[in-house]
């Protein structure tokens, strides 16, 4: 059983709060196009001065991803102010937005397993006929 330090608890609490607040703040933006971006995960640095916000890549093209990242970078001061006002914090973490590559990797692995299973099933059917 691992012991969680108070600093780790604060970090996890901050990550959880940001995971809720950032989508709310994004939805407050005037640009309705960015409302469809989904926040998958938020990870904070040890001192909670930086936060990496992972976004769901869906089936966005590279052009779309660049557009969303650019819009979110421009909106970062607004998002930060929203977080500060909501939580009453003196300082908010510096937000960095990235699309989560792990989701696509997981989907690729799942499709490979599905393909392998189909091939095994076919081979099993062919062996039964012999």
Tens digit of each residue's pLDDT (9 = 90 or more) over 103-128: 666 666 776 777 778 777 877 666 55
Q: Looking at the structure, tell me whether residues 28 and 52 fall in a common domain.
A: yes
Assess if residue 14 is contained within a domain.
Answer: yes
Q: Rounded to the nearest 5 degrees, what angle is found at the Cα of 74, between the Cα atoms of 69 and 77?
A: 120
Q: Contact at 8 Å (CB) between 57 and 65? A: yes
Rounded Cα gap, residues 35 and 30, in angstroms: 9
Total domain count for the chain? Answer: 2
Residue 64's Cβ-count burial label (10 Å; 0-12, 13-18, 19+) is middle
Domain residues for the domain of 68 are 6-99
Look at residue 36 and tell me whether its pLDDT is greater than 90. no
Q: Looking at the structure, tell me whether residues 105 and 63 fall in a common domain.
A: no
Tokens coding 36? 């469809």
Assess if residue 1 is contained within a domain.
Answer: no
Rounded Cα gap, residues 5 and 63, in angstroms: 42
pTM: 0.74
Q: Looking at the structure, tell me whether residues 90 and 125 fall in a common domain.
A: no
Q: Looking at the structure, tell me whether residues 89 and 108 fall in a common domain.
A: no
């Amino acid at each position: 059983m691992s012991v969680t330090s108070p600093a780790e608890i604060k970090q996890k609490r901050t990550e959880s709060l940001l995971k809720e607040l950032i989508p709310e703040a994004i939805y407050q933006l005037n640009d309705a196009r960015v409302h469809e971006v989904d926040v998958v995960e938020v990870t904070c640095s040890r001192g909670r001065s930086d936060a990496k916000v992972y976004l769901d890549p869906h089936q966005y093209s590279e052009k779309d991803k660049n557009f969303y990242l650019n819009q979110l970078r421009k909106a970062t001061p607004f998002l930060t102010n929203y977080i500060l006002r909501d939580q009453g914090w003196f300082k908010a973490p510096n937000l960095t937005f990235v699309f989560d590559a792990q989701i696509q990797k997981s989907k690729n692995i799942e499709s490979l397993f599905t393909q392998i299973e189909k091939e095994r099933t076919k081979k099993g059917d062919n062996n039964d006929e012999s």
